[in-house]
Amino acid sequence: MNDNSAARSTWLRHLPAILGGMAALTVGGVLLVSHIEGGSGMPRTVLILGLPVTALLSAAICLAALERIRLRAAERAGQERRRLDEQRLYLAAIVESSDDAILGKDLSGVILSWNPGAERIYGYSAAEIIGRSISVLCPPERVGEPHGILERIGRGERVDHYETERMCKDGRRIQVSLTISPIRDAEERIRGASTIARDVSERRHVEAALEASENLLRSVIDSSTDLIFMKDRDLRIVLCNQAYASALGKPVAGIHGKSDLELGWDRELVEGAAAKGIPGWQRDDRTALSGEIVHVTSEPCNVPAGTRFFDTVKAPVRDARGEIVGLVGVSRDVTERVRAEREIQQLNAGLERRVAERTAELTAVNQELESFNYSVSHDLRAPLRHIDGYSKILLDTYSQEAPEDARRCIDRIRTGAQRMGHMVDELLELSRTSRREVRKELTCLATLVEDAIGELKPEIGDRAIEWHIAPLPFADCDPALTRQVFANLLSNAVKFSRRRELAVIEAGQTCVEGQTVFFVRDNGVGFSMKYADKLFGVFQRLHRREDFEGTGVGLVTVQRIIQKHGGRIWAEAELEKGATFYFTLEGRGEQQRCLTETTVSGER
């Protein structure tokens, strides 16, 4: 029920009394008027008695009515007071229960009120602090601060919410957020100020930590020489590092919020150019925003510094709920690498061209050599055949008539022709061996040596030869060519030990500087080491032909074969004591290193 309706009902309740009072007054009045006019003939006594009674009655009725009105008003005032008290208690409870510190002070800074929140935050109880100056809450360097504020409040100025530092009872400094409002009295005069203070130390710590974290992030991304950037879902840059800004020649601040096109990147790069096979960054970005990681390699981009090449990775960025909110990109400047690669490509192309040219030259030379060989084989041998043939016919037909000396001369002619035939044949053999492709396979060297010795039987005849053949290993080599090596070396050994009563020929392996080395040794005539360099020259011979036959091609052939295997050959000899030929079948470091030095004891 509101005040108006309450007042109305009060009046309604008192209406009979008021009406009674008014009726009595009316009767009294009528009686009085009748008397004055004297028309009614009512006895005077009635009139004299009736009037006061009426008046008294009316007055009584009116008084009673007024008393009731007064009582009702007093009752209403009591109710109002109770209501205000309740409200005050309610507000006080709010103040009491607030986590914020709520305190009141007069304009001189004396604290007048202090809620439990203030006690919790500052550590002072209300009893301790009420009546003391607000400046006890200030750290020494801020002691003057509240008075300045209070002066402004006193002048009626508005004080904005602000943050500052305060000191607790235990000396601890805390960050507080303050809201200060004036307190006015009933006459609207400013009597003091209320302060609501909130401890924001925690928030400030978090903010400081966040700031530190941001600074860390920034210093990390700025320390990178890669271009690092983040875009939002609208493909606008929300973060970039110094390298990105430097590449564009713009300040970092001028980049935020801009799209690639607004930043001046080539339209083709950004929007793509199907004809040139450029998918475009926008497409890459959308792919990243769809949750995939995009890699772009060696992409040429025009920046103020010129054309640079970048390897770029773009990946989606998700928020705490896993929603993709943007993308992060890292671009690495790989210009130097691309240049190096191009240089290598050019070099390779040049090299390939040169190789092709050289191959063509070599092919031509080989063809020439081939036809030369054919000529040697076919055309040069024919006249030799004729010389020998007709010499033989001369001898057969005219031997009776020819003098002894003529026959000897014809013999010499034949010998010469036949020797030249041998030389031509051996040269051809050498050429054939040199051109032959080496087909390596695991080969039993012991068997090769056995075969080679078997073939020497006719040369050996009934000579006494002591063979010392050490166990030989399997080797990765061309069997036919290697067999030729052993055959040649063993044949030489047999040939040059021919004058020994007991020839001793050895074959074996040893270890030189970790490499397996094969050798063939004889106790024959040997040679002087000062001519060792002539051993492997074509047609070079270290002995007189009448002493030891031969064309001087055999060792050259052996050397060619060994060189084609990647190996090397050398000899050690002493005149009249014998010779040893050493060779390897593989280059250094190509084979398993032999672990033990194995040598075959020589009986020299």
Partner 1 sequence: MPKDQVEILLVEDDVEDLDLTMRALADAHIANRIQIARDGEEALDFLFRRGLHSERAPNCPPRLILLDLKLPKVDGLEVLTQIKNDPSTRAIPVVILTSSRQEQDMVQGYHLGANSYIQKPVDFEQFQSTIRQLGYYWLLVNQQPPERAFD
CB of 421 to partner 1, least distance (A): 3
Q: Could you give the C-alpha distances from 55 to 49, 68, 346, 353, in angstroms and in order?
A: 10, 20, 136, 146
Q: Residue 531 interacts with partner 1 (CB under 8 A)?
A: no
Of positions 170, 379, 501, 597, contacts partner 1 by CB under 8 A: 379
CB of 540 to partner 1, least distance (A): 23
Of positions 389, 473, 537, 587, contacts partner 1 by CB under 8 A: 389
User: Phi/psi zone of residue 576: left (φ > 0), alpha (ψ -120 to 50 degrees), beta?
Assistant: left
Q: Residue 439 interacts with partner 1 (CB under 8 A)?
A: no
Q: Residue 276 interacts with partner 1 (CB under 8 A)?
A: no
Q: Is the dihedral of CA 96, 98, 101, 104 positive or negative?
A: negative
Q: Residue 484 interacts with partner 1 (CB under 8 A)?
A: no
Q: Residue 417 interacts with partner 1 (CB under 8 A)?
A: yes
CB of 422 to partner 1, least distance (A): 8
State residue 314 phi and psi, 5-degree precision.
-120, 135
* Residues β-bridged to residue 162: 178
Angle 592-593-596 from CA coordinates, rounded to 5° = 130
Q: Residue 381 interacts with partner 1 (CB under 8 A)?
A: yes
Tell me if residue 603 falls in helix, strand or coil.
Answer: coil
Q: Residue 378 interacts with partner 1 (CB under 8 A)?
A: yes
Instruction: Rounding to the nearest 10 degrees, give the CA dihedral for residues 168, 172, 173, 179.
Output: -30
The smaller minimum CB distance to partner 1, of residues 66 and 369, is found at 369
Interacting span for partner 1 (CB under 8 A) from 8-16, 185-193, 371-379, 476-484: 371-379
Residue reference for tokens 């209070």: 150
Interacting span for partner 1 (CB under 8 A) from 296-304, 311-319, 425-433, 582-590: 425-433
How far apart, in whole angstroms, are the C-alpha atoms of residue 439 and residue 182? 107
Nearest Cα to Cα of residue 237 among 222, 218, 253, 216: 253
Tell me if residue 15 falls in helix, strand or coil.
Answer: helix
The answer to whether 508 touches 469, Cβ cutoff 8 Å, is: yes
Of positions 428, 446, 456, 600, contacts partner 1 by CB under 8 A: 428
Q: Residue 497 interacts with partner 1 (CB under 8 A)?
A: no
The smaller minimum CB distance to partner 1, of residues 406 and 423, is found at 423
Q: Residue 432 interacts with partner 1 (CB under 8 A)?
A: yes
CB of 562 to partner 1, least distance (A): 22
How far apart, in whole angstroms, are the C-alpha atoms of residue 177 and residue 197? 6
Of positions 10, 418, 434, 591, contacts partner 1 by CB under 8 A: 418
CB of 413 to partner 1, least distance (A): 12
Q: Residue 425 interacts with partner 1 (CB under 8 A)?
A: yes
String of DSSP letters for 344-400: HHHHHHHHHHHHHHHHHHHHHHHHHHHHHHHHIIIIIHHHHHHHHHHHHHHHHHHTT
Interacting span for partner 1 (CB under 8 A) from 267-275, 389-397, 527-535, 557-565: 389-397
**Residue ranges in 192-323 assigned as alpha helix (H):** 201-223, 242-248, 267-271, 281-289
Q: Residue 393 interacts with partner 1 (CB under 8 A)?
A: yes
Q: Residue 377 interacts with partner 1 (CB under 8 A)?
A: yes
How far apart, in whole angstroms, are the C-alpha atoms of residue 384 and residue 409? 16
The smaller minimum CB distance to partner 1, of residues 189 and 378, is found at 378
User: Phi/psi zone of residue 163: left (φ > 0), alpha (ψ -120 to 50 degrees), beta?
Assistant: beta
Q: Residue 402 interacts with partner 1 (CB under 8 A)?
A: no
CB of 364 to partner 1, least distance (A): 18
Q: Could you give the C-alpha distances from 471 to 72, 447, 448, in angstroms and in order?
A: 141, 10, 12
Interacting span for partner 1 (CB under 8 A) from 77-85, 90-98, 194-202, 384-392: 384-392
The number of residues in the chain equals 604
Q: Residue 368 interacts with partner 1 (CB under 8 A)?
A: no
CB of 390 to partner 1, least distance (A): 8
Tell me if residue 10 falls in helix, strand or coil.
Answer: helix
Interacting span for partner 1 (CB under 8 A) from 192-200, 249-257, 322-330, 378-386: 378-386
CB of 553 to partner 1, least distance (A): 15
Of positions 386, 439, 534, 588, contacts partner 1 by CB under 8 A: 386
Residue 575 structure tokens: 């005149």
Positions touching partner 1 (CB under 8 A) are 373-374, 377-379, 381-382, 384-386, 388-393, 414, 417-418, 420-421, 425, 428, 432
